[in-house]
Each structure stands twice: as C-alpha cells, then as structure tokens.
Structure 1
C-alpha cells in the first residue's frame, strides 16, 4: 500500500514539474476525481488563488446529473468550469491531470472544457 502511494506521489510530482515548465504564466486547470464525484479548479499559481471551480457536488447539478461518477457528469463539469473561467477573463490554461491517466472521466472533463471555450 505504501509503495502505491509513493508511486502516486511521484507521478503527480512529475506531471506538476512538467506543467510549471510549460505554463508560461497561464493558470492551470486542475482535476481531482473520486469514485463518486469529480472536481475541477482553475488555479493561478503566481498569486496562489482559485479563479474558478466546479464539482459534481453542486446542488443545481445534483438534480440534473444521474451520478457524479460518469463521463457525462465530467463533461458537464468541464463546460461549467470553462464558463466560469471565461467570465473571469481566463481563456488559456494548462491542463493538470494530476496523477490520473488522461482517459475516461479526466478526458471527458478536458473535452468539455475545450467545448466550453478554454484553450489548452
């Protein structure tokens, strides 16, 4: 179990280092997923603040989504976080998948954010 957590931490750190190099001052779109929900944040690392956020736990989404743990929910969250980021004036971000593989719900969230107008 400890080795799995160490591998997860190494993978996450590796992705984060690559993002810092590629960011060039752009905020990052960070994704976190659990077995039941998915979360997304647009974070400005230079100022240390969250510019926009969305999750499948929000009340208005809980009624419209069947579950927070499928690709449809992830795509909806991606569109919502993109809409909120565009309202704050953010058009370009770097995608931070964390330690997750770019597949399934993480990929669906990215596609939703792109459809919503974010560029990465």
Structure 2
C-alpha cells in the first residue's frame, strides 16, 4: 500500500469532475492510498481511505467516465468505479494489447477524458 501519486489523484479528480453522478470523497485524496490489483500489471488499483481495514467494497459500478491514455504508443483505457455510497473505490485500467504498463501513470500521457 502506498500513498496515491499526484498523477493518480489527477486521474481520479478528472474522472469525478465530468461524472454526471454526484460522487462523495470522504477524505482528501492526498491522504489516501492505493493497492495494485491483480490485473497483470495493467495499472488498476483500489483506492483506500485512511483508517480503512478492508479492501473489499462489495459490488461496484462505473461512473460512466473514461480516459484514453497512451503508454509508449500502447492504447490504455482508464475508468473509475464507485461503491453504493458513491465513494470512489477503484481505477480500472486496460491496456489494449493486454500487456503490462511500461511505467506508472503520467498526466502528460492522457489523450482524452470523456463520458460514455
């Protein structure tokens, strides 16, 4: 578990900003942590708030927002998932060729942020 990076926070906030769903952020994101998910290194992670013990948040739903991202020429799709209380819980990342990310997320590699 590590603190969210500036780039991860930017991605989360960007997806929240355009969402048509009112999303609750219980604690400032710079106080939150991430745990990598078992996705073959594609960059998905769980968002963990301070004082949380559990990382199983039950059924999650998408916010209907996405980011197109380029990882050294590889297409990456990034989406935000929330729990039933509208709290951000996961960033789901899918690399188009199913390979691992070459490096951690960087703001400058964002190509497009949009509603689906």
TM normalised by structure 1 equals 0.28
* Bigger proportion of residues as helix: 1
* Bigger proportion of residues as strand: 2
Structure with the greater alpha carbon radius of gyration: 1
